[in-house]
C-alpha cells in the first residue's frame, strides 16, 4: 500500500500526472488539488451511511467523492469485499448535497429489491433462481479465476458458472445483455 505523497498519512489511490510531475495522492489531497484548480468549492458530505436491504439487514456504505474536470463523481461501496456498489455523477456546479441524496436514494432502491432467491428441490438440494426474469449486477475482477470476472448480484459474488446455472431455467428463451456505466440508472 502506497502512502499519499502530499499528506503522507492516507492510502494513495490516485496517480496524478501534470507534464513532468507525477504524484501518488489520497482521494482527499487529490480533491483539494482539483478543487483549487477547477475553482469548485467542495461541500462537506457524509463519509458513511447505513440502510436496510430487502431482508431488513443493515448495510453500511463508504462514500468516496472524486472531482474531475468533467464533474463530481460519488461512489458508495459496501464495507465488505464484493458487496454492493453504486455511483452517481454531477456537473461541477451541481448541488452536492442533492447529488449525495441522489446517491443514497439509488442505494436504497438497489438494495431494496431482491433479484436471486435460493429454493430447494423436493430432495432438499438447493438451487438459485432469478426473480422477475431479470438480473442487474456489477462486473468485478476475480483474482482466483482464469480470466473470468465475478458478477455481484444482491450484494453477493456469483461466478459465471453460477449465473449460467440460473440461466438454464430460461433455455430456449432470447437474451439481451446490455452494459451500463456505474453512474447510469438501470431500469
**Do 77 and 65 sit in the same domain of this protein?**
yes
**Do 52 and 107 sit in the same domain of this protein?**
yes
Output the pTM of the full model. 0.88
Number of domains in the chain: 3
**Do 106 and 139 sit in the same domain of this protein?**
no
**Do 91 and 64 sit in the same domain of this protein?**
yes
| Structural domain includes residue 177 | no
| Structural domain includes residue 104 | yes
Q: Which residue has the cell 444482491?
A: 154
**Do 28 and 49 sit in the same domain of this protein?**
no
**Do 69 and 14 sit in the same domain of this protein?**
no
Q: Which pLDDT value is given to residue 1?
A: 64
Using 70 as the pLDDT threshold, list the residues of the chain that sit under it. Answer: 1
| Structural domain includes residue 70 | yes
Q: Which residue range forms the structural domain that includes residue 78?
A: 39-111
Task: Give the pLDDT confidence of 60-106 residue by residue, as tens digits.
Answer: 999 999 999 999 999 999 999 899 999 999 999 999 999 999 999 99
**Do 45 and 99 sit in the same domain of this protein?**
yes
**Do 66 and 100 sit in the same domain of this protein?**
yes
| Structural domain includes residue 178 | no
Amino acid at each position: 500500500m502506497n502512502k499519499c505523497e502530499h499528506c503522507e498519512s492516507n492510502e494513495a489511490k490516485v496517480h496524478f500526472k501534470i507534464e513532468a510531475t507525477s504524484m501518488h495522492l489520497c482521494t482527499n489531497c487529490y480533491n483539494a488539488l482539483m478543487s483549487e484548480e477547477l475553482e469548485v468549492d467542495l461541500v462537506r458530505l457524509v463519509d458513511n451511511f447505513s440502510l436496510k436491504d430487502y431482508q431488513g439487514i443493515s448495510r453500511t456504505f463508504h462514500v468516496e467523492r472524486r472531482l474531475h474536470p468533467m464533474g463530481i463523481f460519488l461512489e458508495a461501496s459496501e464495507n465488505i469485499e464484493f458487496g454492493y456498489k453504486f455511483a452517481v455523477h454531477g456537473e461541477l456546479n451541481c448541488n452536492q448535497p442533492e447529488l449525495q441524496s441522489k446517491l443514497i436514494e439509488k442505494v436504497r432502491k438497489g438494495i431494496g429489491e431482491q433479484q436471486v432467491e435460493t429454493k430447494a428441490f423436493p430432495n432438499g438440494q438447493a438451487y438459485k433462481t432469478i426473480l422477475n426474469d431479470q438480473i442487474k449486477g456489477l462486473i468485478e475482477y476475480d483474482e482466483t479465476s482464469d480470466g473470468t470476472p465475478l458478477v455481484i448480484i444482491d450484494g453477493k459474488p456469483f461466478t459465471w458458472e453460477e449465473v449460467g446455472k440460473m440461466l438454464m431455467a430460461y433455455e430456449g428463451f432470447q437474451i439481451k445483455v446490455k452494459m451500463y456505466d456505474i453512474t447510469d440508472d438501470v431500469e
